[in-house]
Structure formats: C-alpha cells, structure tokens
Amino acid sequence: MAGLLNIDLGNVIKTGGNLLDDLFTSDEERGELALQEKAMANDLVKGQMEVNKAEAGHKSIFVAGWRPAVGWIGAVSLAYQFILYPLLLWFWSFGQAKKWIPITLNPPPMLDTGALLMVVTGMLGIGGMRSFDKVKGVNTDMIKK
C-alpha cells in the first residue's frame, strides 16, 4: 500500500504541463501556423499558374482549348435551356394541335438546370472575382510571379 502512495510529484506536474501545452496554442504559434498556411497557398497558386501557362501554350486544341470549350458549352446550354427550349415547347404544342407532331410523342428533355447553373456560375464567379480585383485596383503582380 505504501508503494501506491509513493508518487513522483515532479513527473505528475511535468506530464500535466505537457498536456496543457498540447491543448492550448499560443498567439506566436498561431502566427507561425498562419504564415506556413499562406506560404503553402502561394505555392499552390504559383504551381497552378504554371500548369495554366503550359496548357494555354500547348499546340493541341484538346489541351489549350478546354476552358474556352467549357465556356462555349455553358453558353450554348444556357441558350438552349432559357431561349430555345421554351420556344421549342411552344412550337411542339402548336405542331401537336395542327397534328403535324403525334400527340403521343414527347418533346425533347429539359436540361438539369441545377447542374448547368452550378458550372456556369462557378466559371463566372472566378472571372467575376478577377474583375472585382481590377475595379478595386488590387495589385495582383505577386500572383503572376
């Protein structure tokens, strides 16, 4: 029983102090972590910009043209969904009323508007943020390096 009561108080205090130190982060440590995160983000941006330059300068249309292709697909899809499709439905109903189109034949399908808008607004958001930077006069020279 006497062995149980014989506890090294110095080790208990040291262990408790280490546990508390692990639980709480000082302002200095937070600052160092923030600097490390910014440096990593800058490295990622620089790396992505190098990839973008390589893609844009590539001779193959399948490498250099994918971004414009996505933009054109988005524009054509929006035109179909919000301009052509409503007109098509109107002409479809008119054609069925005139018996040019069989009543049993369904019109072409509508596009998934949620997915379409998610892609297009994502592209516009990225372009919009850059435009916002230009209007506000934000210096983005450090990003280009």
Handedness of CA 117, 121, 123, 124 (dihedral sign): positive
Task: Examine the domain organization and report whether 83 and 121 are in the same domain.
Answer: yes
Q: What is the mean pLDDT of each run of 10 residues along the chain (145 residues)?
A: 59 71 70 79 74 68 68 86 93 94 91 83 67 67 56
d(CA 117, CA 122): 8
Could you count the other beta carbons within 10 Å of the beta carbon of residue 34? 10
| pLDDT (0 to 100) of residue 14 | 73
pLDDT for residue 28: 77
**pTM assigned to the model:** 0.46
* pLDDT attached to residue 145: 45
For the chain, what is the domain count?
2
Do 69 and 49 belong to one domain? Answer: no
Could you tell me the residue range of the domain that residue 23 belongs to?
A: 9-60
Structure confidence at residue 99 (pLDDT): 92
Residue 30's pLDDT is 74
- Does residue 85 sit in the same domain as residue 32? no
Q: What is the DSSP letter of 107?
A: P
- Specify whether 145 is located in the same domain as 80: yes
For residues 52 and 87, membership in a common domain is answered with no
* pLDDT value, residue 129: 63
